[in-house]
C-alpha cells in the first residue's frame, strides 16, 4: 500500500511539474509574437520596411512592435535652429539684440570639439570634420528642441505647432503613454531595441541584439555642448506632467521616463 501511495505521489508530482513547466514556457517573452520580422501589421504594411518622408525625400526604416509601428531611425528632418540642428554642421539663426527691440541680427555657430571622438567611435573613414559631421547626422539623426522660452515667465514650454508638424505625414511625436506601451512590450529589456552597434557604456563591450529592429543608438543630448554621446539616448515625448516639465524617455541600462535633458533625439510613431 505504501508503495502504491509513493508511486501515486511521484506521478502527481511529475504531472504538476510538467504543467508548471508548460505554463512557464507560455509566459516567456517571444519575439516572434511581439515583433516578428515577417508578416504584415494592422496597417497592411510589412512588419518591417521603409517609407519616404515626402517633405524632403528622406527614406526611413520602420519596425512593428506589438500594435505599434515605430521609426527605426532617428528623425533627420531639418527645422530651423533652435528647433533642430546636426552636430558639427554650422547653424545660423536670427535673434533680437535686446528683448524690447525689434532690430535683430543673424548669428552662426559650429561646435566641432567632439568630432574626433565621434569619428573614432563610428570607425569613420572620413578625413575632415565636415565629412564626419555629415556621416554622424545621417546615422544618429538631428537633435531637436520642441520648446520655446516664455518671455514673461522665463519658463520653457512645448511649442505645439512644432510638435504637430515635426514628424512626417501620418506619424507623430509619441506620448509618454505610447512610449510606456513600447517599454512594456519588450519587458524593458533594452537589448531588444538597442542597435548591435550601440555600446552600453564607454569602454564596455556590451551591445544590443536589436531583436525588435528598433535600432536605438546612443546619441546623447546637447545643452551648451554635446554630452553623453555613445553613453545614453534621449527621446522626446509630447507629454507634459506640468506646465513646466516635458517628459523624455532615456535609454541607458533600461528605458526610463523622466524630464527632458535639453536638445535630444526624436523618434516618430505611426498614427
Name the CA radius of gyration of the chain, rounded.
Answer: 23
**Interatomic CA distance for residues 183 and 66, integer angstroms:** 11
Cell numbers of 243, please?
A: 506646465
Cell numbers of 60, please?
A: 526611413
pLDDT band (50, 70, 90) for residue 2:
very low
pLDDT of residue 125: 95
Predicted confidence (pLDDT) at residue 183 exceeds the cutoff of 70: yes
| DSSP three-state, residue 117 | helix
| DSSP three-state, residue 6 | helix
pLDDT of residue 6: 40
User: pLDDT of 110-142, one tens digit each?
Assistant: 999 999 999 998 889 999 999 999 999 999 999
Residue with cell 535633458: 261
**Mean pLDDT in the chain?**
86
pLDDT of residue 207: 67
Cell numbers of 38, please?
A: 515577417
**Residue 89 DSSP label:** S
Percent of the chain whose predicted confidence (pLDDT) is above 90? 65
User: pLDDT of 242-261, one tens digit each?
Assistant: 777 899 999 988 899 998 87
Predicted confidence (pLDDT) at residue 5 exceeds the cutoff of 60: no
Instruction: Let me know if 173 is exposed, middle or buried by CB neighbors in 10 A (0-12, 13-18, 19+).
Output: buried
pLDDT of residue 148: 87
Q: Are β-strands 59-65 and 171-172 bridged in parallel, bridged antiparallel, or unpaired?
A: unpaired
Percent of the chain whose predicted confidence (pLDDT) is above 70? 84
Neighbours of 157 (CB within 10 A): 16
Amino acid at each position: 500500500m505504501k508503495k502504491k501511495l509513493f508511486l501515486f505521489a511521484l506521478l502527481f508530482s511529475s504531472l504538476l511539474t510538467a504543467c508548471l513547466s508548460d505554463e512557464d514556457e507560455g509566459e516567456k517573452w517571444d519575439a516572434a509574437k511581439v515583433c516578428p520580422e515577417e508578416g504584415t501589421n494592422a496597417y497592411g504594411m510589412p512588419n518591417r520596411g521603409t517609407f519616404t518622408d515626402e517633405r524632403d525625400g528622406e527614406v526611413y526604416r520602420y519596425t512593428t512592435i506589438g500594435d505599434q509601428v515605430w521609426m527605426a531611425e532617428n528623425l533627420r528632418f531639418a527645422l530651423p535652429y533652435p528647433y533642430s540642428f546636426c552636430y558639427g554642421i554650422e547653424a545660423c539663426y536670427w535673434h533680437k539684440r535686446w528683448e524690447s527691440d525689434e532690430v535683430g541680427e543673424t548669428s552662426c555657430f559650429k561646435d566641432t570639439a567632439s568630432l574626433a571622438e565621434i569619428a573614432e567611435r563610428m570607425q569613420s573613414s572620413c578625413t575632415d570634420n565636415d565629412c564626419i559631421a555629415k556621416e554622424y547626422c545621417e546615422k544618429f539623426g538631428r537633435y531637436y528642441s520642441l520648446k520655446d522660452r516664455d518671455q514673461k515667465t522665463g519658463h520653457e514650454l512645448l511649442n505645439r505647432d512644432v510638435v504637430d508638424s515635426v514628424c512626417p505625414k501620418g506619424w507623430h511625436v509619441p506620448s509618454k503613454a505610447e512610449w510606456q506601451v513600447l517599454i512594456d512590450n519588450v519587458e524593458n529589456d533594452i537589448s531588444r531595441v538597442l542597435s548591435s552597434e550601440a555600446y552600453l557604456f564607454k569602454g564596455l563591450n556590451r551591445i544590443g541584439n536589436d531583436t525588435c529592429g528598433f535600432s536605438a543608438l546612443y546619441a546623447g543630448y546637447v545643452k551648451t555642448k554635446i554630452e553623453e554621446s555613445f553613453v545614453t539616448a534621449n527621446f522626446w515625448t509630447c507629454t507634459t506632467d506640468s506646465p513646466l516639465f516635458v517628459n523624455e524617455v532615456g535609454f541607458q541600462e533600461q528605458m526610463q521616463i523622466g524630464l527632458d535633458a535639453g536638445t535630444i533625439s526624436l523618434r516618430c510613431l505611426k498614427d
